Amino acid sequence: MRKKICMKKSFGIFFIMTILIFCINISFSQDYPKSPVQIVIPFGPGGLTDIFWRSISEYIGQNIKGTIVLVNKPGGGGVVGTSFALNSKPDGYTLFSANSDPLSMSPVFTPNVPYHPDKDVTYIAKLTTFAFTFSVRSDSQFKSLEEVVEFAKTNPKKLKCSVMGIGSTPHIILELFNRDAKVAITPIPFDSGGEAVTNLLGGHTDLCITSLSSIKSQFLAKKVRILAFISPKRLKEHPDIPTFAEKGYKKASIATDVGLAGPKGLSSSIVNKWYEALEKTLKDPKVVEIIDKLGGVVIDFKSGDEYKKQLLTNMEMFKEIVPTLPFKK
C-alpha cells in the first residue's frame, strides 16, 4: 500500500515538474529575444553566404521581433566559425549559418574537427541552395570550357584556380573536375568567394570557382567571363551559358546549401519560433525578389530534421568520394 502511495506521489511530482517546465518554456519563448541575436557566418565578407544573410537579415529581424547581428568568423573552410557557434551557450543568442561545407565535407576531410554534425548541432531550417560558376578574366585566352581542358592536359599543374578553402564545395568541384577531365589544375584556397574573385582579377589565379553573386558585378562589368555554370541545368537568367553537367562533368556538379542552426541543447520553443520567422521571411515577395536578383540562389526551405538528414546523407557520399581524390588535407 505504501509502495502504491509513493508511486502516486512520484508520478504527481513528475507531472507537476513537467507542467512547470512547459510553462517556463512558453514564457521564455514569448519573451525571446530580449537582446540582439548573433548569427555567425563562418566565411569572410563578400562571399555568397555573407551576401545572402546581409540581404535578408532586416526582414528576418522584423519577423523574429528582434535585432540580428551578423558576425564573420572565417577560417578552415567554415570550421572556425561553426566551432565557435557550437561552443556557445544554447540560449538562442548565438546561432550560425549552417553551410554544407563545414557540416558535411570538412568532417570527412578532417576527422578531428571539434564537433560532430549529428550530435552537436540543433538544426533549425534549410533556407537555400546555391549554384556556382567556373570563370576566367575577360582578357583570358580561354573562351570555352573545352579550351581550358585542352590546355590543362598538355600543361599539368600550370593553371591555378581560386577556391574557397580546402574541403569546401568549390574545392571538391575542382578535384572532381580534374579527375573526370583527366587534368591537373591547382586549387588555391581563400577564406571567401570575395577573396577568390579578387585574386582572379589580380592575376594571381587563372580560373575561379565561386558563386554567381560573388562574381556577378564583375561579370556585368565584363571583367570576367563565365565559361560554365556548375548546375544540373542552365539558369533561366543566362540561357546561353552551358553547365558542367551538359559538358559531361555530372559528378562535379555539386551545389551547396545554407540553413540556420545552433548549438546542441537549443530549446524546441526557440527552434519553432525561428522556423516560423524564417518561413514567413522566405514567403515575403520583397525577399523573393531580393534572392532572385542575387542570381543562382534557389529558395529551398526545409525543416531542421530534413536538412540534418540531407547533410548526413551527403557526408556518407563524400566518405566514398574523398579517398579517391589525389590530395590530402
Q: In whole angstroms, what is the distance from residue 149 CA to residue 153 CA?
A: 6
pLDDT at 13: 52
Determine contact, residues 184/265, Cβ cutoff 8 Å. no
Q: Which three cell numbers stand for residue 66?
A: 528582434
Q: How many alpha carbons fall within 13 Å on the CB side of residue 298?
A: 15
pLDDT attached to residue 14: 46
Instruction: Specify the range with the lowest mean pLDDT, choosing from 8-17, 35-44, 127-136, 178-187.
Output: 8-17
Among 138-152, 162-176, 190-204, which stretch is predicted with the lowest mean pLDDT?
Answer: 162-176
C-alpha grid cell for residue 152?
590543362
The residue assigned the cell 508520478 is: 11
What single letter denotes the amino acid at residue 103? L
Cα-to-chain-centroid distance, residue 220: 25
pLDDT tens per residue across span 54-86: 999 999 999 999 999 999 999 888 999 999 999
Nearest in space to 43 (alpha carbons), one of 189, 175, 177, 160? 189
Distance, CA of 158 to CA of 142 (rounded, Å): 14
What's the Cα-to-Cα distance from 104 to each of 1, 77, 88, 167, 280, rounded to whole Å? 56, 11, 21, 10, 27
Strands 186-189 and 160-163 turn out to be: parallel
pLDDT at 329: 45
CA–CA distance, 137 with 151 (Å, rounded to integer): 16
User: Residue 14 corresponds to which cell in the numbers above?
Assistant: 513528475
Residue 262, pLDDT > 50, answer yes
Residue 297: which H helix or E strand, with range?
A: strand 297-303
Q: What is the mean pLDDT of residues 172-201?
A: 92
DSSP 184: -
Q: Specify the range with the lowest mean pLDDT, choosing from 99-113, 262-276, 314-328.
A: 314-328
Angle between helix 212-220 and 193-201 (nearest 10): 30
Cell numbers standing for residue 64: 523574429
What does the block give as the cell for 22? 512547459
Range 301-308 average pLDDT: 97
Structural domains of the chain sorted by starting position, each given as residue range(s) with its CATH number in brackets: 34-128+256-324 (3.40.190.150), 132-252 (3.40.190.10)
pLDDT at residue 21, rounded to an integer: 47
DSSP string, 48-106: HHHHHHHHHHHHHHHHHTS-EEEEE---GGGHHHHHHHHTS-SSSSEEEEEEHIIIIIH
pLDDT at 283: 97
Kindly state the percentage of the chain with pLDDT values over 90.
65
